[in-house]
Amino acid sequence: MWKRPILFWICGALAAFSAQPAFASGEAVSSPISATSSQNEHSVGAIAPLHLSIGNVDRGSNPTNAPVLGEREAPATTVDEWAAQIAQNLVQITGVEVTPAGDGIIVLLQTSGGTLPEPATRTLGNALIVEIPNASLVLQGDDDYFAANPVEGIALVSVSALGGDGVQVTITGADGPPEAAIASSSTGLSLSVVPATIPLAAPEVEDEALRVTVTGEQETGYAVDQATTATRTDTPLRDIPQSIQVVPEQVIEDQRAVRLNDALRNVSGVVQGNTFGNTGDTFVLRGFTASDNFLRNGFRLPSSDLAFLETANLERVEVLKGPASVLYGNLEPGGVINIVTKQPLPEPFYELGLQVGSYGLVRPTVDVSGPITADRSLLYRLNAVYERADGFRDYDTQIQRAYVAPTLAWAISDNTDLTVDLEYLYDERPFDRGLVNDANFEIPDVPFSRIFGEPDDVSETSTLSTGYSLEHRFNDDWTLRNAFRYLSSDAFNYRAEPLYDTDEDGNLSRNFRSNDNRSETFALQTNVVGDFATGPVEHTLLFGVDWFRDTRTGGQRRFPGVTSLNIFDPVYEVTPRPPLSELTRNFFTRVTRNDNIGIYAQDQIAFTDNLKLLVGGRFDIVDQFSDEIWLDTIVTQNDTAFSPRIGLVYQPIEPVSLYASYSRSFQPNDFTDANGEFLPPERGTQYEVGVRGEFLEGRLVANLALFDLTKTNLATADPNNLDFSVATGRARSQGIELDVIGEILPGWNVIASYAYTNARITEDNDPERIGLRLQDSAYNTASLWTSYEFQEGDLQGLGFGAGMFYVGDRIDGFIPSVTLGNYLRVDAALYYQRQNWRAALNFQNLFDERYIQSGFYNPGEPFTVIGSVSVEF
């Protein structure tokens, strides 16, 4: 009876997918790569192209050095023989030399024979870590090698063994992680190392090697120093005069954040909103609901018609607080959530994962990436997920998700890059409105697992999104970017909907309803970024234009009669579910179309190294069309708005930034007046001051913000005609937010937040509404998550984490005078990673807290265990 997606079966097969390595003329290519690279200074959030610098490739006749049959050793018959064979197969590093070279050093690892395998690299605090598998360290006189302060900017070089089957090179910088280019030869491995601020030069070695420089790389750790959402350029967080937080991939992995809400609970001022029957994501930012304030790589994402957004393809989540219309057009004023996805990598990367857990959760994942061509000008990445679960609510046995996201990145030339991607998601689950009120407007004493619809209530959503991003660099200072995105969504549900609160005996009236909606979104953006100077003053100028069209069709059908259920003694399926053809009462059947054209400009001005000004503005033209079929009415309106932003950053000392900013937003109004015209657009105005501090040599970052945010032109009842509205309402949100993230000690990470938010209606034509808190806004929210991983010794790779997440009382989504209680949820994690393996156990809601997740009575999950294992190769 229900719709089934054509591509649903594909993702099940993709769980066993294993990508092939790069090929050229039928030969496998194995070449060393650079250890780190810098990002392009002006990378826009919507576009993350890859920049490639290609050297020569050494293609041997036997690139894998695999022994032929006659060369294989006889199998070991004792433990000692087995250990000796393992040691013999490891490439021995017999010497280490560190010599100054220009502004940096050359680290040479000498071998007794054989080629060292390609190393893996990562950064941790100020350290660059190079891990060489299948190698052993055999030095005369010492087990490890140390060189302190070999040159200015590099504090320590150490070379040590990794449990007998690998070698780790750790290079610690004085002010940040150094950069390195790596090349191998038949006699060893050479690392050309410089402090992070000095341009990287390739090392000279006997054999030629492939060198790749990329704009993006696998992020590790909690510390994040820059983001794109606030300015559409790669700007250090310390230079942004507005509160912005970043949840990196490592946090998502450590907490096993399967849903976006699991990741965003780490951010101050963000609360889960209405889930529309547990079918999708909505969040409240600084007290204001933001159902459509989502971006995907800088593109608008109308999530109100989407299923729960997938996290498997997330590189990070950036949350910009306050109005963002200056860059992204018509939005709610609380802020925007930018989902930054994983991009293709220039080196082969293959990861298979499996998650299993409580309530029947089975979730295999695939993440593969690498070069397609031998010169690495064409790269790919593929993420795929299949999910099956039963859920903790009664009869929730239909949860299925399938997701696939391929991406191609093509370096057309040295100055031009093109990225093309596609994303498909199918989500099927029970439609579930959550709990209901009793006759006293309180949550009744019933199990949180009990449903109040019918066992076969269902919701199905399928979304398809595709697009491209093109970047051309005219020179080192000026860059042109053009990008396009298309998104379509089909959402269907059929359920028994609770109509009112229960009577004194617990009887609940329900009505069979069905929604069938479709949306299409087209988005096009073009901008130019350039660096120039006017005397001693430096500028980064951004100007551009974008176009956005969102078309939605659909409505709701209802059955004329009602069916009853007793919440204390439910008997389901008493009334047979009628066929869709008998749902004859049409509600909200409409076709809407919104067209938005915006022109914007922004200048980031550096008067001095410690005094910076951000100024920008955007002019929008919005055309609205609504064919209210169920009312036989057509409404059109044209709105224009100018949205400015200005902010100042002053850094009295290098680690401290003081900032102040003013910004405005606008959002077209969906309500009409007595003349049948749309009300004027809602406007948001924010004043914000804050301080951002960097501690422990930049490894730990804290941001404290105070804000005053007002929203005007809210629809309120027309006193002369209560069937219509006038735009005289006003709401105000004031608060303070604190966010802390980073690394306290090597291996010890933390992310924490606190927010006090006072969001209320301040003007309304109904005097009883004045002073009411905004829906789902909580006075107090807080979170603390910390993890520790042993860095050396027998326990190296073992880690654990724990966290607490607190949400204060909120008001009922239906009855503003009713509040929902606060809750404190405790989570924990235990994991072990070694070489390319990682296994973890995550315990969510450790003390089985009973709580309401949002103001629409959606209960939170009870105690849950998720076990996961992944392997990279």
Amino acid at residue number 401: R
Say if 509 falls within a structural domain: yes
Residues 6+ apart with CB under 8 A from 9: none
pLDDT band at 208 (very low <50, low <70, confident <90, very high): very low
Q: How confident is the model over 421-450, as a mean pLDDT?
A: 90
Q: What is the pLDDT of residue 206?
A: 41
CATH at 188: 2.60.40.3500
Contact (CB, 8 A) for 701 and 692? yes
The yes-or-no verdict on residue 652 having pLDDT over 90 is yes
pLDDT band at 635 (very low <50, low <70, confident <90, very high): confident
User: For every residue of 261-296, which 3-state class applies, written as one string?
Assistant: HHHHCCCCCEEECCCCCCCCCCEEECCEECCCCEEE
Q: Across-strand partners of 833?
A: 838
Q: How confident is the model over 459-487, as a mean pLDDT?
A: 95
List the beta strands (DSSP E) in 349-477: 349-357, 361-371, 378-389, 399-411, 416-429, 458-473
Q: What is the pLDDT of residues 367-379, one digit of tens each?
A: 999 999 998 899 9
Say if 555 falls within a structural domain: no
Q: How confident is the model over 203-223, as a mean pLDDT?
A: 47
Q: What is the pLDDT of residue 162?
A: 76
Domain count, the chain: 2
Say if 140 falls within a structural domain: yes
> Considering 163, 194, 225, which residue would you say is the last residue of a domain?
194
Which domain, by its residues, includes 347? 341-548+570-872
Q: What is the pLDDT of residue 720?
A: 82
Decide which of 277 and 698 is more confident: 698
- The mean-pLDDT minimum among 62-76, 174-188, 390-404, 655-669 falls in 62-76
> Considering 150, 176, 194, which residue would you say is the last residue of a domain?
194
Residue 376's nearest CA partner among 402, 344, 339 is 344
Q: Across-strand partners of 370?
A: 380
Residue 324's nearest CA partner among 292, 280, 356 is 292
The yes-or-no verdict on residue 646 having pLDDT over 70 is yes
Decide which of 502 and 6 is more confident: 502
Q: What is the pLDDT of residue 78?
A: 53
Q: What is the pLDDT of residues 504-562, one digit of tens each?
A: 889 999 999 999 999 999 999 999 999 999 999 999 999 999 999 999 998 888 888 88
Say if 310 falls within a structural domain: no
Q: What is the pLDDT of residue 89?
A: 67
Say if 778 falls within a structural domain: yes
Say if 355 falls within a structural domain: yes
> Considering 143, 172, 194, which residue would you say is the last residue of a domain?
194
- C-alpha distance from residue 780 to each of 109, 206, 489, 823 (Å): 55, 63, 35, 11
Residue with tokens 């929210």: 781
Residues 6+ apart with CB under 8 A from 692: 237, 238, 656, 657, 659, 701, 702, 703, 704
Q: What is the pLDDT of residue 855?
A: 67
Say if 144 falls within a structural domain: yes
Quote the CA–CA distance of 679 and 237 in Å, as a whole number. 38
Identity of the highest mean pLDDT range in 72-86, 159-173, 274-288, 676-690: 676-690
Encode burial over 836-868: b for 16+ CB neighbours within 10 A, e otherwise.
eebebbbbbbbeeeebbbbbbbbbbbbebebeb
Provide the residue count of the chain. Answer: 873
The model's pTM:
0.77
- C-alpha distance from residue 29 to each of 58, 205, 575 (Å): 8, 19, 66
Q: What is the pLDDT of residues 826-855, one digit of tens each?
A: 999 999 998 889 999 999 999 999 998 876
The yes-or-no verdict on residue 335 having pLDDT over 50 is yes
Quote the CA–CA distance of 241 and 648 in Å, as a whole number. 6
Residue 162's nearest CA partner among 634, 791, 598 is 791
Quote the CA–CA distance of 202 and 700 in Å, as a whole number. 32
CATH at 639: 2.40.170.20
Q: How confident is the model over 175-193, as a mean pLDDT?
A: 83
- The mean-pLDDT minimum among 90-94, 368-372, 523-527, 660-664 falls in 90-94
Q: What is the pLDDT of residue 297?
A: 93
Contact (CB, 8 A) for 806 and 778? no
Instruction: Give the torsion through C-alpha atoms of 272, 273, 276, 278, to 10 deg.
Output: 20
Q: What is the pLDDT of residues 54-65, one digit of tens each?
A: 333 343 334 334
Decide which of 814 and 208 is more confident: 814
Say if 61 falls within a structural domain: yes
